[in-house]
Amino acid sequence: MTTVMCFGTFDLLHLGHLDYFRQAKKDGDKLVVVIARDSTKENEKKVPVFDEHERQELVQALELVDEAILGHTGNHLKIIEERKPDVLCLGYDHPISEKELAERLLKLHLYPKIVRARAYKQHNHKSTTMKEKIMQSQ
């Protein structure tokens, strides 16, 4: 069984997230989605609308997702070390490059395939943009 792992905040679920999960699932049999922790987002000064447990529950409810888990605080590679997925699928806007991630994982003796999902109508389907539209409409 090929396990694919993808990552994100997944606040205000939208069609872009579903497209990301579909793309990731094409690379394997089991899709594990890692949800960013509230403390991680707060450190980035990006407070989610929904807390980490609500976001986890929403993502887990999707048929495409086999398992939704919370990431670790601090060491973002720890979850990859623990789960050892076969494939890592990065979102189109994930800040780390595939090369940099591969180099970091190499030091840990981990060799998953690394792919990057393409954007899905990124100007319309991005949580940050949706939050801005909601704020403007009030």
Distance in angstroms (rounded) separating the CA atoms of residues 63 and 86: 21
Burial of 5 (0-12, 13-18, 19+ CB in 10 A): buried
Q: Strands 113-116, 87-90: parallel, antiparallel or unpaired by DSSP?
A: parallel
pLDDT at res. 11: 93
- The boundaries of the domain holding residue 93 are 3-136
Query: Into how many domains does the chain fold?
Result: 1
Sign of torsion over alpha carbons 36, 54, 70, 67: negative
Distance in angstroms (rounded) separating the CA atoms of residues 5 and 24: 8
Which residue positions in the chain have pLDDT lower than 70?
Answer: 41-45, 122-138
- Give the number of C-alpha atoms closer than 13 A to the C-alpha of residue 89, restricted to the C-beta side: 24
- Decide: pTM greater than 0.75: yes
The DSSP line for 69-136 is EE--SS-TTHHHHHH--SEEEE-TT-SS-HHHHHHHHHHTT---EEEEPPPSSTTTS-HHHHHHHHHH
Q: Strands 30-35, 3-8: parallel, antiparallel or unpaired by DSSP?
A: parallel
CATH number at residue 86: 3.40.50.620
pLDDT at res. 107: 97
